[in-house]
């Protein structure tokens, strides 16, 4: 099952959400124009490789200089079409309503902040991983964490994959199941990055918790509370 849309009406145009989707898409398309070896090098250079910061000997041998910009640049790289589409779809569904409550500048700061926390969490959980962590999922997880508290009773329309069936479920249920999946992956050892598993499950949880507990300072008090009926 995948989310199709939510039911919270917008009060303002989500320019930053749209811009983030556009920028991520353009960067991905630019990467697709590279030859595979160049793209791989680009992802190692600008993706978040934990061993780059915890294993300097390996980083030197791999030709990766000391550089902390990947904590941000990694958020704008994606490993494939499905990776990009799924992340941008979640950003489209949940990001606009959070931007509605924060305003564009604060929303962008919140998004980047949650992505940074997600990256640090992944670094702490898998310090010796030599696989680049890339994708917007850390920042998006933070948005979902904020949504969990701001609009828990909003309805998420779910598409039952391969079937013409659409169901409405409370956001608190959908996001709760999402968190349970992430916890299952990390507690069963499936979240550990290895040669065949490069999904940043720990980063997802770190971003979600950052968004859930730290969203309040980013809210604009003067913004309309048209979505209050969806709150606790």
pLDDT of 189 > 80? The answer is no
Q: Residue 224 — very low, low, confident or very high, per pLDDT cuts 50/70/90?
A: low
Closest to 122 in 3D by CA, of 208, 48, 229, 23? 48
- 158-174 mean pLDDT: 88
Which has the higher per-residue pLDDT, 191 or 44?
Answer: 44
Architecture in CATH for domain 2-230: Up-down Bundle (1.20)
* Beta strands 165-170; 155-160: pairing state: antiparallel
Q: Round the average pLDDT of the chain to a whole number and report it.
A: 91
Closest to 167 in 3D by CA, of 179, 178, 159? 159
- 9-25 mean pLDDT: 97
- 191-205 mean pLDDT: 67
Question: Using alpha carbons only, how large is the chain's radius of gyration in Å?
Answer: 18
Which has the higher per-residue pLDDT, 164 or 99?
Answer: 99
Which has the higher per-residue pLDDT, 167 or 198?
Answer: 167
Burial of 202 (0-12, 13-18, 19+ CB in 10 A): buried
- 97-113 mean pLDDT: 97
Residue ranges of the domains in the chain?
2-230
Which has the higher per-residue pLDDT, 58 or 190?
Answer: 58
Q: What is the DSSP letter of 6?
A: E
* Beta strands 2-6; 155-160: pairing state: antiparallel
CB-based contacts of 212, cutoff 8 Å, min separation 6: 145, 146, 148, 149
Q: What residues pair up with 168 in beta bridges, in sequence order?
A: 157
pLDDT of 228 > 80? The answer is no
């Amino acid at each position: 099952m995948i989310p199709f849309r939510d039911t919270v009406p917008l009060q303002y145009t989500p320019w930053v959400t749209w811009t983030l989707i556009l920028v991520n898409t353009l960067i991905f398309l630019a990467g697709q124009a590279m030859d595979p070896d160049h793209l791989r090098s680009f992802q190692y250079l600008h993706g978040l490789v934990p061993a780059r910061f915890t294993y300097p000997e390996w980083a030197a041998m791999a030709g990766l200089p000391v550089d902390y910009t990947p904590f941000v640049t990694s958020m704008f790289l994606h490993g494939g079409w499905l990776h990009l589409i799924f992340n941008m779809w979640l950003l489209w569904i949940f990001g606009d309503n959070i931007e509605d409550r924060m305003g564009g500048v604060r929303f962008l700061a919140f998004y980047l902040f949650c992505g940074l926390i997600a990256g640090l969490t992944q670094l702490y959980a898998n310090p010796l991983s030599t696989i680049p962590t890339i994708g917007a999922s850390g920042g998006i997880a933070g948005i979902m964490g904020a949504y969990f508290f701001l609009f828990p009773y909003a309805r998420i329309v779910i598409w039952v994959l391969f079937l013409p069936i659409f169901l409405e479920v409370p956001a608190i249920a959908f996001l709760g199941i999402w968190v349970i999946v992430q916890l299952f992956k990390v507690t069963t050892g499936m979240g550990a990055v290895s040669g065949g598993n490069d999904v940043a499950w720990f980063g997802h949880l770190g971003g979600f918790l950052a968004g859930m507990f730290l969203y309040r300072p980013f809210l604009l008090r003067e913004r309309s509370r048209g979505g209050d009926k969806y709150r606790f």
